[in-house]
Each structure stands twice: as structure tokens, then as C-alpha cells.
């Protein structure tokens, strides 16, 4: 890809509008799941981006979103923003979102390429697996490292203290898979394997 095409209008539009979608999801109140566990929709942004935009544009979308946050826009769930949010104990997770989006995209596309028929249940399974690997493993790795660094915790303590959020995030992976499946059905022209 030549430099001239790397940031063309298509990229600019999909990256910016996905970042806008993430911002909008931050404005939506927390959703209560079956057992009264609340989840914020914004946390699915990285996984959704990875599957729907592919690794490169997904990372750009999350990065653009975080840039807006850093410049003072209250885009994070709860109306938070400014460079201060990149200093707290959970700052590692924010950086993890960028990496996780890329990882999700890479895994999703890799699996899609090997599927004889990338629709229906196999598509959902691919999206779920990609979301778990990118949205949980990579994101938590970054988040736990960040927590350990900021709070001066040993790694295993940091990891343990974050473990409680994993079940909720597994639900997010499932929701992401369902959304990706719906998008593939509702927008058959949207290329999940290219761009």
C-alpha cells in the first residue's frame, strides 16, 4: 500500500465514525445483565473495531478516540476525559484497547481466511475467538502491567484483582460476535476481510 493510499477517505471515514460510535456508546448508560451485573458498552469498542474494520483501521480508530480523550473531550464512559485518565491505575487498559483491537482484527481475519463459508455460526465463532484473544488476553495483559506499574503491585496481585471482570468481558465477546454476525447479514457489502 503506497503512502498516498494509507490514509485515504475510506480509512478516514471508517476510523473517525467508529471512534464516534465508541464515544456514543460511552454516553449510553450501563446495561444490566441477567444477574444485575452492569456492563459498559464502550468496552466492546476494541473487539468490535477489530472484527469490523480490520486490524489497521481498528487500531487507528481506538487511537483517534483516545487522542480525543487526551485533548479534553469527555468521551470515556462517565464523561471522563483529559490526559489525567491516562495516569490512573486502569490506564494500561486504555492502551490495551489499541493493541487488543489490532490483535482481534488479525485473529479474526486469519480465521476468516480459513473458513470455507464465512457466514453464520462459523463467523460468530471466529468473532468470539478473536474477541477473547484480542479483547481479553491482550487488553488484560496491558491493563495488568499498567496496574502493577502505577500501583506498585506485584504482577500476580494485579492480575488477581482484575480477574473478577473477566466473566463480564466474556459476555462482551459473545455480544460482539452476535453484532458482527448481524452486521454481516445486514450489510452484506461490508468487506470483513479487506481494507
Partner 1 sequence: MRSLYSEQRTWMHRVPAWAKLATLAACGAGLALTSRPLPLAAALLAVVLLLASLGEVALRQGRMLRGVLVGAGLIVAFHWMLGTPVLGAAAAMRLASAALLALALTLTTRFDDLLAVLERLLAPLRIFFGLPVDRIALGLGLVLRFAEDFHAQWRRLDDAHRARTGRGGGLRLLAPLTIRALMTAERVADALSARLGR
* Interacting residues with partner 1 (CB under 8 A): 3-10, 12-21, 23-25, 27-28, 31-32, 41, 44, 48, 52, 64-65, 67-68, 71-75, 78-90, 150-153, 157, 161, 175, 178-179, 182-183, 186-187, 190
What CA–CA distance (Å, rounded) separates 18 from 14? 6
User: Which lies closer to partner 1 via its Cβ, residue 24 or residue 166?
Assistant: 24
CB of 107 to partner 1, least distance (A): 20
Q: Which residue has the cell 477517505?
A: 9
User: Which lies closer to partner 1 via its Cβ, residue 3 or residue 194?
Assistant: 3
What CA–CA distance (Å, rounded) separates 63 from 59? 6
For residue 103, give the C-alpha cell: 490483535
172 and 39 Cβ atoms separated by less than 8 Å: yes
SS3 120: helix
Compute CA 6 distance to the chain's CA centroid, rounded to the nearest angstrom: 21
User: Which lies closer to partner 1 via its Cβ, residue 114 or residue 191?
Assistant: 191
Cα dist from 114 to 49, 109, 111, 184, whole Å: 21, 9, 5, 17
CB of 182 to partner 1, least distance (A): 4
User: Which lies closer to partner 1 via its Cβ, residue 115 or residue 179?
Assistant: 179
User: Which lies closer to partner 1 via its Cβ, residue 108 or residue 114?
Assistant: 108
Whether the CA torsion 141, 143, 144, 150 is positive or negative: it is positive
CB of 123 to partner 1, least distance (A): 14
CB of 109 to partner 1, least distance (A): 17
Amino acid at each position: 500500500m503506497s503512502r498516498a493510499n494509507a490514509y485515504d477517505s475510506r480509512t478516514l471515514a471508517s476510523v473517525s465514525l467508529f471512534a464516534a460510535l465508541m464515544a456514543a456508546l460511552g454516553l449510553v448508560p450501563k446495561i444490566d445483565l441477567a444477574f444485575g451485573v452492569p456492563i459498559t458498552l464502550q468496552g466492546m469498542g476494541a473487539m468490535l473495531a477489530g472484527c469490523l474494520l480490520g486490524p489497521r483501521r481498528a487500531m487507528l480508530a481506538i487511537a483517534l478516540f483516545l487522542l480525543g480523550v487526551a485533548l479534553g473531550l469527555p468521551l470515556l464512559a462517565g464523561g471522563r476525559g483529559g490526559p489525567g485518565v491516562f495516569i490512573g491505575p486502569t490506564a494500561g487498559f486504555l492502551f490495551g484497547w489499541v493493541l487488543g483491537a489490532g490483535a482481534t482484527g488479525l485473529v479474526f481475519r486469519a480465521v476468516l481466511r480459513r473458513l470455507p463459508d464465512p457466514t453464520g455460526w462459523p463467523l460468530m465463532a471466529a468473532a468470539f475467538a478473536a474477541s477473547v484473544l484480542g479483547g481479553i488476553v491482550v487488553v488484560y495483559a496491558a491493563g495488568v502491567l499498567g496496574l502493577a506499574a502505577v500501583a506498585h503491585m506485584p504482577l500476580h496481585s494485579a492480575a488477581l484483582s482484575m480477574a473478577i471482570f473477566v466473566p463480564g468481558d466474556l459476555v462482551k465477546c459473545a455480544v460482539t460476535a452476535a453484532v458482527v454476525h448481524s452486521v454481516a447479514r445486514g450489510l452484506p457489502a461490508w468487506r470483513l476481510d479487506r481494507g
